Amino acid sequence: MVVGGSRQETLDPGLVILGTCQQSVSANLRQLVRPDGFDLVSPSFTIFKLARKIAHNSLRNYRSIGSNNTDSIIYSVIMPTLNCCGLMNGSDFDDSPNFQRKVLFNEQNFDLKYPIPCCKMDAKFVVLDPTCPGEFNNKNSNIHEGCWVKLRQIIGFYGGMIVICGLVVILFQVST
């Protein structure tokens, strides 16, 4: 390997050293472009884009309030807690491939248009209006209120603090 020279040397099929350390780092970072086209080192990358993509993928994996898969549990807690439904609104579940519409809830069978956590609930996750989930409307549900705006505010507020705490830890590690 030549450092600081003008010759290119291939170390492995995925990495080319371009002659300087700075260019080598750039080439390494380019490898972070994911197969789905999401580029972690693009100038237009933001933590919000990453968070939204993760939230969207998680939403597509949502099954039901009674499911034990991680995505279902996360949304079953987030939606009633933030009084929201889906990312933009309840229609996000229209094309959600894993959403189980036929459920038994409170000893009744339902063919759901939206997940049960879209119903308005109290702090103990009990549905407040007995007409929901049989009928979803503005009074008994949060189907017109998306979670993304609220999640973005939380990420913006706490994300900055997490970055600062991480930098402080790194500084302490470097100084010792």
| Judgement on whether residues 108 and 90 belong to the same structural domain of the protein | yes
Domain-located, residue 156: no
d(CA 60, CA 81): 20
| Judgement on whether residues 35 and 91 belong to the same structural domain of the protein | no
pLDDT score for 9: 45
| Judgement on whether residues 53 and 70 belong to the same structural domain of the protein | yes
pLDDT band at 135 (very low <50, low <70, confident <90, very high): very high
Q: What is the number of structural domains in the chain?
A: 2
Lowest mean pLDDT among 16-30, 38-52, 80-94, 117-131: 16-30
| Judgement on whether residues 64 and 140 belong to the same structural domain of the protein | yes
| Judgement on whether residues 64 and 141 belong to the same structural domain of the protein | yes
Domain-located, residue 103: yes
Distances (CA, A) of 121 to 14, 114, 125, 129: 51, 14, 5, 8
148 pLDDT more than 50: yes
Domain-located, residue 18: yes
Decide the pairing of beta strands 9-12 and 15-17.
Answer: antiparallel
Domain-located, residue 137: yes
d(CA 87, CA 100): 18
| Judgement on whether residues 41 and 60 belong to the same structural domain of the protein | no
Domain span at residue 89 reads 47-149
| Judgement on whether residues 58 and 125 belong to the same structural domain of the protein | yes
Contact 90, 152 (CB under 8 A): no
pLDDT band at 171 (very low <50, low <70, confident <90, very high): confident
| Judgement on whether residues 34 and 115 belong to the same structural domain of the protein | no
Domain-located, residue 176: no
pLDDT band at 21 (very low <50, low <70, confident <90, very high): very low
| Judgement on whether residues 66 and 38 belong to the same structural domain of the protein | no
Domain-located, residue 155: no
Domain-located, residue 159: no
Cα R_g (the chain), whole angstroms: 23
| Judgement on whether residues 98 and 59 belong to the same structural domain of the protein | yes
Domain-located, residue 77: yes
| Judgement on whether residues 9 and 55 belong to the same structural domain of the protein | no
Give the residue-averaged pLDDT of 42-57.
75
| Judgement on whether residues 72 and 27 belong to the same structural domain of the protein | no
Q: Which residue did the predictor score with more confidence, 31 or 140?
A: 140
